[in-house]
Amino acid sequence: MKQMFPWYDSNWLSIYLHAQSIIKESNPKKLKTFTDALEPLKTRRDFEVVKIKKVFDEQRLNELKDVIKNLDMGQKETHEIFRFGRLVVHDHPIFNKLQGAMTEMVSEMVKEEVESSYNFLSLYYNLGVCDIHMDSPQAKWTLDICIEQTINWKIYISQRQDWMENFEYTGQNWKEQILNDSNNRFTAYSLKPSDGIIFSGSSQWHYRKSLYRKNKQNHCYLIFFHFIPKGMKEIIKPQNWAKLFDIPELENLFQ
């Protein structure tokens, strides 16, 4: 199946729209049932970014720094080093435990019950950059926490938007199209070590410019805790849709 949109992590949205087209053709009476069932993955219109000072105390922060120092290369994924200038570590046991402990706090702040989706440690270095994008709904809610950095590295986040189901662009200037759209209203947020920010990655454009090279060796270590609405862990997976909605034609989603 061809990806419909140009930004990183847009594949889920392409699959979702492809599923709708299959249902319209094969079983149109079930279309509303399908879209209604996935509606909780969309972000309420009045949501605004939440910034949190000092998520961790000094002792815990130092413990997390030690975790990073003691990682060996076998634990670090290298597939994003050229695109993002970072090494990543998914679902480390210590961060899994931390994420579970934060579920209640995140639920209160986003005003809905959530459960853990996944997390990853993002170790940015001199080539660090994060192009503008929206995440898949597996990251409906993101708690982004700075652990350590050589320089304060801003993240730019737009206002809450509807899913970009009808996004159209021409040529290669889709990034400028997003950045120049006055409806997006980007705000820059700075995080010091231990500060956190909660935003809706699947309904807010976000990006970071190239990491400013103040020193010969620069870095910014961030942990991203991703959450989804409670009870959505199975229905969020496109490979489950054919069985969950009793629509055999959805087995062809990935063709």
Condensed to tens digits (0 to 9), the pLDDT of residues 62-86 reads: 999 999 999 999 999 999 999 999 9
Q: How many CB atoms within 10 Å of residue 8?
A: 17
Please give the structure tokens belonging to residue 190.
């700075």
Phi and psi torsions of 250, nearest 5°: -70, -5
Angle at 163 between CA 159 and CA 168, to 5 degrees: 100
Give all strands of the β-sheet with 130-133 in edge-to-edge order: 130-133, 206-208, 155-157, 187-189
How many domains in the chain?
1
Residue 120 lies in domain: 49-231
User: What is the residue-level pLDDT of the chain in tens, covering all 255 positions?
Assistant: 677 899 999 999 999 999 999 999 999 999 999 999 999 999 999 999 999 999 999 999 999 999 999 999 999 999 999 999 999 999 999 999 999 999 999 999 999 999 999 999 999 999 999 999 999 999 999 999 999 999 899 999 999 999 999 998 877 799 999 999 999 999 999 999 999 999 999 999 999 999 988 888 999 999 999 999 999 999 999 999 999 999 999 998 987
b (16+ CB within 10 A) / e for 46-63:
ebebeebeebbeeeebee
Contact 203, 162 (CB under 8 A): yes
Taking the whole predicted model, whether its pTM rises above 0.85 is answered as yes
CA angle, residues 138, 237, 11, in degrees to nearest 5:
65
Report which of 184, 192, 197, 190 is spatially closest to residue 132, judged by C-alpha positions: 184
State whether residue 35 is helix, strand or coil: helix
Query: pLDDT value at position 1?
Result: 64
| 68 within domain boundaries | yes
Q: Residue 22 is encoded by which pair of tokens?
A: 């299959």
* Any domain includes 57: yes
Tell me the CA distances in angstroms from 219 to 107, 157, 204, one per residue in order: 31, 21, 25
Residue 197 lies in a domain: yes
On whether residue 158 sits in a domain, the answer given is: yes
- With respect to residue 30, please indicate whether it lies within any of the assigned structural domains: no
33 found inside a domain? no
Which amino acid type is present at position 144? D
Give DSSP secondary structure letters for 73-113: GGGSB-TTTTTTSEEEEES-HHHHHHHHHHHHHHHHHHTS-
* Under 8 Å between Cβ of 247 and 26: yes
Q: For the chain, how are helix, strand and coil distributed in percent, rounded to 5?
A: 35, 20, 45
Q: Which residue has the tokens 């992590």?
A: 9
C-alpha 183/C-alpha 42 separation (Å) is: 18
Q: What is the CATH number of the domain that holds 134?
A: 2.60.120.620
- How far apart are the C-alpha atoms of 46 and 160, rounded to whole Å? 8
